[in-house]
């Protein structure tokens, strides 16, 4: 997954979270970060 694709997916998920308030979209962001090994926690 390229950096641009990753950023687009994160932005889309965050936008959906802002619109709906559903934390599932924030969990999507976490999964995207973990998939690429960026989340250091």
pLDDT over threshold 90, residue 41: no
Tokens for 17?
A: 């979270």
Using 50, 70 and 90 to split pLDDT, how confident is the model at 36? low
pLDDT band at 35 (very low <50, low <70, confident <90, very high): confident
In angstroms, rounded to a whole number, what is the distance separating the alpha carbons of residues 40 and 23? 21
Residues 5-27 pLDDT 10s:
999 999 999 999 999 999 999 99
Residues in the chain, total: 41
Contact between residue 36 and residue 1 where contact means Cβ atoms under 8 Å apart: yes
State yes or no: pLDDT of 2 exceeds 60: yes
* 6 vs 36: which has the higher pLDDT: 6
Q: What is the dihedral of CA 9, 13, 15, 20, to 10 degrees?
A: 160
Q: Where are the domains of the chain?
A: 3-35
């Amino acid at each position: 997954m390229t950096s641009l694709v990753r950023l687009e997916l994160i932005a889309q998920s965050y936008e959906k979270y802002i619109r709906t308030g559903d934390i599932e979209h924030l969990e999507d962001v976490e999964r995207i970060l973990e998939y690429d090994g960026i989340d250091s926690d």
